[in-house]
Amino acid sequence: PYLAFVIYFPTLIQGPLTLSNEMLPQFGALYRNESGRVKPDIAGGFVLFTFGFAKKMLLADHFAPAVNFGFSSAPYLDLLTTLAVLISYAFQLYFDFSGYTDMALGISMMLGIQIPINFSRPFQAENIRDFWKRWHMTLMRFFTRYVYIPLGGSRRGGLRTALNILAVFLVSAIWHGSSLCYLLWGGINGIFVVLSHGMEKRRRNQKKEAAGEAQETVEGARKRAGIAGMAGRIQTFLLFLLTLIFFRSENLTQVGQLFSSLFRITFPGFFLRMVQTLDFPENYLFKQIAVRLLPQSGQNLVYLATFFLLMIVAFCLILAKKDACETVSSLSEAKWKSLPFALGVGVLFVYSLCSLTGVSTFLYFKF
């Protein structure tokens, strides 16, 4: 069982990070063929694997050309193009990593092994602290157990808690790489989380103080909470985008160039050049039609449509009420046996497989 745990291939390279106490009993039960062990779920596992495969091939890899172009052209970018590149990189990173995780979870379901989830709709977090509780959850669990708690956690006062949080994010930065850009990325995220922790604590105290005052109507409270939640999600997303400048940049010079571009307003600037990198085989027929109808601007319209279609699909997925794992868990057995559903999953799998025309690596392999 221990050897199986160490070399378990779905999680070996990129996670999720598993603990021995949650995996060894399962491998032991599998080895002894115990009747109470988790039964393999071939249908559910294949559907989840297909969802993850599609995330990687149809979304993450399709955002990659725009991201590569943007960061390689950092000195020449403008505000619009830089925002588009950063959003594209956020989606590339998320769909690449969560796609791999879904594939690992799907394979494990087919083998009758339960592994922990690694993402829980992080872009719906209302503050940066909650965001990092939802992103790469098993890594945060690892650092909490082996760094944060041994340093004292939150048991030794506010200042010590803040220093412990900073230590966790600096260790996380070194985990990803030893460059100064990674250290700045970790330190800035640590500061954001400390500030978020302090603001959340202050809000709780304010609610306690206001508990004896007149209560507002239920409808008013819901409306206020909804507006605050939306504002929090937008703020968290923007903060995450800014930290990605440090995470993706090769050096501090590139960091400075990208931040400078946020204050440069030109139109269309490099935006059209960026979307022109989205030249996929699926666009061939549409380009031929567009060029015949609009010889001067037809191709650019196809590239723009491709970019905005990718963005719409990505935003719909990150704002959905259920992620891939929750969707698969909620589907009934009757759904598996539905012919239209089975055909849809099959088409998605084949389409994703056909998109694998060259070498496609996962971003987190290098970490």
| pLDDT per 10-residue tile (average), the chain, 367 residues | 80 82 86 75 91 95 94 93 97 95 93 91 94 94 93 86 94 91 96 90 68 57 76 95 96 96 84 89 78 78 92 95 88 72 92 77 61
**Predicted local distance difference test score (pLDDT) of residue 281:** 80
- What is d(CA 132, CA 130) in angstroms, rounded to the nearest whole number? 5
**Predicted local distance difference test score (pLDDT) of residue 171:** 95
- Structural contact between residues 273 and 69, judged by C-beta atoms closer than 8 angstroms: yes
- 221 within some domain: yes
Please, what sign has the CA dihedral across residues 164, 165, 166, 168? positive
- 52 within some domain: yes
Q: How many domains would you assign to the chain? A: 1
* Long-range pairs of 93-96 with CB within 8 A, sequence gap ≥ 24: 93/60, 93/244, 93/363, 94/60, 94/119, 94/122, 94/123, 94/318, 95/55, 95/56, 95/59, 95/60, 95/63, 95/314, 95/317, 96/55, 96/56, 96/60, 96/61, 96/362, 96/363, 96/364
Q: Closest Cα to residue 106, out of 47, 33, 54?
A: 47
- What is d(CA 95, CA 14) in angstroms, rounded to the nearest whole number? 14
- Structural contact between residues 47 and 69, judged by C-beta atoms closer than 8 angstroms: no
Q: What Cα–Cα distance (Å) separates residue 107 from each residue in 9, 47, 147, 293, 357?
A: 10, 10, 31, 47, 23
Domain span at 104: 2-119+214-366
- Structural contact between residues 141 and 150, judged by C-beta atoms closer than 8 angstroms: no
Give the angle subtended at the CA of 223 by the CAs of 217 and 226, to the nearest 5°: 140
Residue 15: which region, alpha, beta or left (left: phi > 0; alpha: psi -120 to 50)?
A: left
**Predicted local distance difference test score (pLDDT) of residue 193:** 95
**Predicted local distance difference test score (pLDDT) of residue 270:** 85
- 200 within some domain: no
At 7-26, the pLDDT tens digits run 888 887 777 888 888 888 88
Work out the angle between the directed axes of helices 180-209 and 218-248 (0-180°, nearest 10): 170
At 336-361, the pLDDT tens digits run 668 888 899 999 999 999 887 665 66
- 277 within some domain: yes
- 188 within some domain: no
Q: Closest Cα to residue 351, out of 118, 104, 45, 61?
A: 61
Q: Before 116, cis peptide (omega within 30)?
A: no
- What is d(CA 8, CA 198) in angstroms, rounded to the nearest whole number? 40
**Predicted local distance difference test score (pLDDT) of residue 13:** 73
Q: Before 281, cis peptide (omega within 30)?
A: no
Token pair for 281: 């085989």
- 97 within some domain: yes
Q: Which residues of 199-209 are buried (b: 16+ CB within 10 A; e: fewer)?
A: eeeeeeeeeee
- 124 within some domain: no
**Predicted local distance difference test score (pLDDT) of residue 191:** 96
- 191 within some domain: no
